[in-house]
Amino acid sequence: MSIIKETKQERSLRKSRERVVKKFILLIIGLAALVALIFGVVWSAQQSGTTSGPQTVKVDLASITADDHVLGTPGGVTLIEYSDFQCPACAAYEPLVKEVVADFRDDLLFVYRHYPLPQHQNARLAAQVSEAAAVQGKFWEISTLMFANQTAWASQSPTTARVTFASYASELGLDMNRFEADLVSEAVAERVERDYLSGVQARVSGTPTFYLDGVEVKARTAGEFADLIEAAIKTKNNEPNSSTTTQTTVNE
């Protein structure tokens, strides 16, 4: 068998051809990847377009019951807040919300709901404290105390925070034996969890989150809230058969 030796020139030509072939293959692979990426982006956009959009009617107004903590007047527009007692932003919004409720008391029903964030170690305990106080008719009073003194108890251990919360209950003149029993009761724990799960269903991602007649709204000042509420009142008044039946108890 004779062996045909490759000349230097032929070897150089062969390698040059191989490089061209490799570049061509890489180009084909790159184009295929680009086409796949574009297809993926378009498909993702189409899918998100069918599932996302404005946060409309995430909260069912008919779900408002006598157990909800409310201020204002049923029958007007409804503002629901999902809040966390250990959330600094919620504490900052608390006086603002009170101002808005006072200004629109005859046309607005305000509903407070618990949404204790997992990163706040005392948030769920604080929510349960407020519910234990609510059993004795002192929800709003102890809520005010907890928000006003948030910086004092937020960094405490849960054990120490519980002692602090008990001092607030005592300051309000609550029956302490009953308060302590209610604080660890299954009914109070379930009450907080019910609010939290309704927030999950409403796609609450942080606190505070506000829903005005079922639509998520954002406002930084009392004036911005007033503009939103006035627009909602106007819309409601212009809607035929706009009255909403809501069974609730207004807490003074």
* The listed CATH number (3.40.50.970, 2.160.10.10, 3.40.50.2300, 3.40.30.10) that belongs to domain 61-238: 3.40.30.10
Residue 12 to residue 202: CA distance in whole angstroms: 69
Residue 109 to residue 209: CA distance in whole angstroms: 16
Handedness of CA 183, 187, 193, 195 (dihedral sign): negative
For 77, other C-beta atoms within 10 Å of its C-beta total: 26
Residue 122 to residue 124: CA distance in whole angstroms: 6
- Give the model confidence (pLDDT) of 46-103 as tens digits: 443 333 344 454 456 457 888 999 999 998 999 999 999 999 999 999 999 999 999 9
Handedness of CA 30, 36, 37, 42 (dihedral sign): positive
Structure tokens at 157: 């251990």
Residue type, 182: D
Work out the percent of the chain whose per-residue pLDDT is above 90: 66
Q: Is the pLDDT of residue 245 over 50?
A: no
- Give the model confidence (pLDDT) of 95-154 as tens digits: 999 999 999 999 999 999 999 999 999 999 999 999 999 999 999 999 999 999 999 999
81 within 8 A of 50, measured Cβ to Cβ: no
Q: Is beta strand 69-72 parallel, antiparallel or unpaired with respect to 209-212? A: unpaired
Selection from 179, 196, 105 nearest residue 141 by Cα: 179
Q: H/E element holding 62?
A: none
pLDDT level of residue 32 (50, 70, 90 thresholds): low
For 70, other C-beta atoms within 10 Å of its C-beta total: 22
pLDDT level of residue 211 (50, 70, 90 thresholds): very high
Domain residue ranges in the chain: 15-44, 61-238
Handedness of CA 217, 222, 224, 226 (dihedral sign): positive
